[in-house]
Structure formats: structure tokens, C-alpha cells
Amino acid sequence: MFNQIKNLAGGEIYLISSLLMFMVFFLIVGVYLIKLSKKHVEIMSNMPIQENQTEAHEED
């Protein structure tokens, strides 16, 4: 596998840049999720339930 990577003839920049973009994206998402407030997560997790409850009451 490593021999295939070594014999790319100039294509290694694409491998390295795609790996770096992948890592940076998931690091940013990870930091965002860690810094999210617990209150916001609780409100967002209850939203679908609250919407269904209001729709059910409107039909009655």
C-alpha cells in the first residue's frame, strides 16, 4: 500500500491536503459539539416532541 502512495508522481499533495481537510473539519465539529450549551441541546432534542404535541392539540 505504501509503495502505491510513494509512486504517485506529484499526486501526494492531493492526499495530504484531503487528509488535512478531513481532520480539520472533524476537529471543528468536535470543538463545536463540546462547546454547545446543555440547555440548547435539551431544547433542540425536545423540539420534535413539542411540535407533535401542539399539532395534536390543534386538531381537537
- Alpha helices, DSSP H only, in the chain? 2-6, 12-35, 38-59
8-state DSSP, 60 = -
36: left (phi over 0), alpha (psi -120 to 50) or beta: beta
Size of the chain, expressed as the number of residues it contains: 60
Give pLDDT, residue 1: 59
**pLDDT digit string, tens, across residues 1-60:** 567 666 666 677 888 889 999 999 999 999 999 998 889 888 888 887 765 565 555 554
Give pLDDT, residue 20: 94
Per-residue CA distances from 41 to 20, 36, 49, 51, 56 (Å): 29, 7, 14, 16, 24
